[in-house]
Amino acid sequence: MAIYLDHAATTPISEIALAEFNKQLQQIGNPSSLHNFGREQRRALEEAREKIANFISCAPSEIIFTGSGTEADNLAIKGLFWKSQKSGKKVIVISSFEHKAVLEPAEWLVEKEGAELIQIPITSEGIVDLNFLINLISDRGQEIALISVMHSNNEIGALQPIDEVIKIAGDIPVHCDAVQSLLKVPVTFEGLTALTISAHKIGGPVGVGALVLKRGFDIPALLHGGGQEREIRSGTLNAPAICAFAAALTTYPTDAVTALRDQLISGIRDSIPNALINTPAHALPGIVNVSFPGTKGETLLLLMDMEGIACSTGSACSAGVHRPSHVLIALGRSEDEAIGTLRLSLGAQSTRADIDRVLEVLPNVVEKARLAK
């Protein structure tokens, strides 16, 4: 039986979310229409909005639904920059291991809009260097348009000190990408200006995300049209997907997943010489990132796939691209170490038998990959 250990790329839709999705797909009506069908869709959608808002401690009106986490990140980075640019602030500060959905729009703003990008280094424990941020703000605080630090890293699972970042930032708007953290660890909107979430990482459908944006803090739109979502994100609201997103917000088996992760990490340490665990102690329950120097991640991945185990070399978005991960380089790994890396990400459905099977085949896979390089 195939084993799926790529839950950080996307996790299967949960039964409860699928039931809600199917139910809502059979309803007629645009939620913006004023007739009875439309009003009924709107009612279901607003209930979903309220449930999501309660889950992350924000006001329902602060949620702007989007088509993905990527869209929400783009909206946040570009929108917050354009808003602050009006008062002459041009510096964008992000952590040096942000997801490409944050990094790429920031680099685009440098190229097209005259922004300056400063990346906060990562300590060897996989945490943003807060002293760097403190010094940066004391030197150039007046020039900073926004700060973006992710809640947890998608490749190594490292959890970030968001409360500290918010305190240090003072009046500077802070955006946080919590796509990987939602449901797995507590996530709150408190103190933030903007927050990104996405449904398909928590057992909801693909194709719906949200930007949570502080009330009264309106930013320029990327999509113009019918004026939905505070005129920040036009487009007919995807009511079935939004309702299923809310339905997916149930409980997560944190203890069970953490125990499996720890079993996997100690099994790898015991059985594979030179394995370098890149996932730090303070991390999400489900991610194990490990480097095997002298191998190539793509070879490891294909050999694992031949054994019926699906995993990843890191972020799904850069899969297939033979470049060392910027996350592992930011963490201080060498190119050789970074290239020979696997990410095994566990989910609510993962079992002890899955981990036993991985530990059974992995030493041989690594051996073969070392010979193949």
Ligand X SMILES: Cc1ncc(COP(=O)(O)O)c(C=O)c1O
User: Would you tell me which residues interact with ligand X (CB under 6 A)?
Assistant: 68-70, 73, 99, 101, 150, 154, 177, 179-180, 198, 209, 315-316
Q: Of the two residues 282 and 370, which places its CB atom closer to ligand X in the complex?
A: 282
Q: Of the two residues 99 and 175, which places its CB atom closer to ligand X in the complex?
A: 99
* CB-nearest residue to ligand X: 69
Determine the Cα–Cα distance for residues 103 and 94; give it in Å rounded to an integer: 8
Catalytic residue among 58, 176, 311, 317: 317
| Number of continuous H segments (helices) and E segments (strands) in the chain | 12, 12
Neighbours of 47 (CB within 10 A): 14
Least CB distance to ligand X at residue 177 (A) = 5
For the chain, how are helix, strand and coil distributed in percent, rounded to 5?
45, 15, 40
Least CB distance to ligand X at residue 222 (A) = 14
Determine the Cα–Cα distance for residues 314 and 181; give it in Å rounded to an integer: 16
Least CB distance to ligand X at residue 66 (A) = 9
3-state secondary structure of 286: coil
Determine the Cα–Cα distance for residues 169 and 194; give it in Å rounded to an integer: 13
Has 176 been annotated as catalytic? no
- The two tokens of residue 109 are 């703003």
Residue 63 — φ and ψ, nearest 5°?
A: -90, 125
- The two tokens of residue 307 are 């054994």
Determine the Cα–Cα distance for residues 24 and 43; give it in Å rounded to an integer: 12
Q: Of the two residues 31 and 209, which places its CB atom closer to ligand X in the complex?
A: 209
Is the separation of the CB atoms in 288 and 335 below 8 Å? no
Neighbours of 252 (CB within 10 A): 18
Q: Of the two residues 176 and 369, which places its CB atom closer to ligand X in the complex?
A: 176
Q: Of the two residues 179 and 330, which places its CB atom closer to ligand X in the complex?
A: 179
Least CB distance to ligand X at residue 151 (A) = 8
Least CB distance to ligand X at residue 319 (A) = 11
What is the chain's length?
Answer: 373
Q: Which residues are catalytic, by number?
A: 317
